[in-house]
Amino acid sequence: MSIVRLKPVVIGLTLSLVGLSSLAASPDVFAKLDADQDGRLIKTELQVPCDREIFASLDRNGDTIIDRQEFRTNGDIATYEDKGGVDDKGVSLRWLEFRIGRFDLQDGTFTICNATEGHYPLQVTASRADIEMAKQTIQSRLVEDAARSAKR
């Protein structure tokens, strides 16, 4: 085998190794956010727009702490609150208040949070199953609306 043939291979390997070292040097977003370096994030360490929704979406086990296994830098967010009350005519009302969107935490410095908010009416006697069905309906409608907007 001639040296001329080996040269491109060596150059290719060198470029691959340079690429790998730059990947290893990329900033660790979790470490950047972990102000006290205790290996977990608490809500006060995640100071970005939409932080309530993002924190809730990352804290999958609900222990108010985000560890490395739970942490991710982008994804969907969805929060729902079961609301209700009595109107001025004495009629009981109930609705699901929602906020659904997407976040992208870039180097831990800022986030892009495009969210859709709204209210979805519920029966006053709605069960947990009814609420889960309402959540699925809301998400389906948002997907359909996005598809319609994309066609325009």
Q: Which helix (H) or strand (E) holds 108?
A: none
CA atoms in the 13 A half-sphere facing the CB of 58: 27
**Mean predicted confidence (pLDDT) in 33-58:** 81
**How far is the C-alpha of 114 from the C-alpha of 38, rounded, in Å?**
31
Note the maximum CA span of the chain: 92
Sign of CA dihedral 33, 35, 37, 39: negative
pTM of the model: 0.58
**How far is the C-alpha of 29 from the C-alpha of 52, rounded, in Å?**
18
Confidence of residue 111 (pLDDT cuts 50, 70, 90): low
**How far is the C-alpha of 116 from the C-alpha of 62, rounded, in Å?**
23
Tokens of 56: 């809730």
Instruction: Pick the closest to residue 50 from 96, 119, 118, 100 (CA basis).
Output: 100
**Mean predicted confidence (pLDDT) in 16-33:** 53
